[in-house]
């Protein structure tokens, strides 16, 4: 996304322009709430920038809004939290239309057990068990403010709100919670996996296409996030 956005902005403004985003996402992961900034001296109004850039961007990228911000604003360092959703298509047949944004699983999932397991992750913890190798974060400590597992028809949604996330953290959490739903591990084992502080204790990393970044929060009042 960054490359396409920089190309479009540079073409529109007739000068090379760099973009800084709120977070990096793995290849195949989606976003409907990514935030990014760039500096410019142009006098084009925000509405005009949005319209013009959307004409230059590929179909897979759309700017929902363009706003002026203070010169000291940083989309990553000023972020106070993020909201992710992992979606599983849970029915006996796959869907060609949803294969790009869901993880297809044919056997019924025990959503109640998944929800019970997820609650063990709430609060501030060392999430080393849910941290991919090569993660460059200085500390594995993160806070999950809320996590929910719900079924909406044929879709099972794992939603996570937290202050920040480690590399592949949400996908590893999703893969582990799904294994609870499959009956491969018990809901009670989630606390043991967390306590192990060892990536080998958790389960598979869920496929990238099921994950979507829904929103980046800049308000420090956590109660307003939900």
Please, what are the domains in the chain?
2-56 (3.30.70.580), 81-225 (3.30.70.660)
Structure token pair of residue 5: 């956005």
Q: Residue 95 CA to chain centroid, in angstroms?
A: 23
Residue from 26, 59, 110, 126 carrying the catalytic annotation: 26
| C-alpha span between 42 and 49 (Å, rounded) | 10
Q: How confident is the model at residue 54 (pLDDT cuts 50, 70, 90)?
A: very high
pLDDT reading at 5 higher than 90: yes
Span 84-124, pLDDT tens digits: 999 999 999 999 999 999 999 999 999 999 999 999 999 99
pLDDT grade, residue 203 (50/70/90)? very high
Report CA-CA distances (Å) from 60 to 83, 102, 205: 21, 17, 25
Q: Give percent of the chain above pLDDT 90.
A: 88
Position 28 confidence tier, pLDDT thresholds 50, 70, 90: confident
Percent of the chain scoring above 70 in pLDDT: 100
DSSP string covering 77-130, please? TT--EEEEEEEEEESSS--TTTTTTSEEE-SPP-HHHHHHHHGGG-EEEE-GGG
Q: What share of the chain is helix, strand, coil (3-state, %, to 5)?
A: 30, 20, 50
CA nearest neighbour of 11 among 46, 42, 45: 42
Q: Is residue 19 pLDDT above 90, yes or no?
A: yes
The angle, 0 to 180 degrees and rounded to 10, between the axes of the packed helices 189-196 and 169-181 is 150
Q: Which phi and psi angles does 180 have, rounded to 5°?
A: -65, -45
Taking residue 198's Cβ as centre, other Cβ atoms within 10 Å add up to: 11
Q: Looking at the predicted structure, is the pLDDT value of residue 70 above 80?
A: yes
- pLDDT at 101 (0 to 100): 96
Which one has a higher pLDDT value, 4 or 219?
4
Look at the block and give the residue holding tokens 């929103």.
215
Alpha-carbon distances of 149 from 50, 78, 173, 180, rounded to whole Å: 35, 28, 12, 12
SS3 213: strand
Burial class, 206, CB count within 10 angstroms (exposed 0-12 / middle 13-18 / buried 19+): buried
Average pLDDT of every residue of the chain: 94
For residue 26, what pLDDT is reported?
77
Judged by average pLDDT, the poorest of 20-29, 40-49, 145-154 is: 20-29
Residue 1 has pLDDT above 80, yes or no: no
pLDDT of residue 89: 98
* Average pLDDT of span 66-92: 94
The pLDDT value recorded for residue 109 is 98
Task: Identify whether 26 is a catalytic site residue.
Answer: yes
Residue 23, pLDDT score: 81
- 6 Cβ neighbours under 8 A, 6+ residues apart: 17, 18, 19, 38
Per-residue pLDDT at 25 exceeds 80: no
């Amino acid at each position: 996304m960054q490359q396409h956005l920089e190309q479009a902005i540079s073409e529109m403004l007739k000068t090379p322009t760099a973009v800084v985003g709120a977070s990096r996402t793995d290849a195949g992961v989606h976003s409907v709430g990514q935030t990014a900034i760039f500096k410019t001296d142009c006098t084009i109004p925000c509405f005009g920038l949005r319209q013009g850039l959307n004409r230059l961007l590929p179909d897979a990228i759309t700017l929902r809004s363009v706003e002026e911000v203070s010169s000291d604003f940083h989309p990553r360092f000023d972020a106070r939290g993020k909201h992710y959703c992992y979606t599983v298509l849970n029915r006996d047949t796959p869907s060609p239309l949803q294969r790009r944004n869901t993880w297809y699983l044919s056997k019924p999932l025990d959503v109640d057990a998944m929800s019970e397991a997820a609650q063990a992750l709430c609060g501030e913890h060392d999430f080393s068990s849910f941290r991919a190798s090569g993660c460059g974060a200085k500390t594995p400590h993160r806070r999950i403010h809320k996590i929910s597992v719900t079924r909406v028809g044929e879709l099972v949604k794992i939603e996570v709100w937290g202050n920040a996330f480690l590399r592949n953290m949400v996908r590893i959490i999703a893969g582990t919670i799904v294994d609870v739903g499959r009956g491969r591990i018990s809901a009670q084992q989630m606390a043991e996996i967390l306590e192990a502080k060892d990536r080998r204790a958790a389960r598979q990393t869920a496929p990238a296409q099921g994950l979507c970044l829904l929103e980046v929060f800049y308000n420090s009042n956590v109660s307003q996030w939900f």
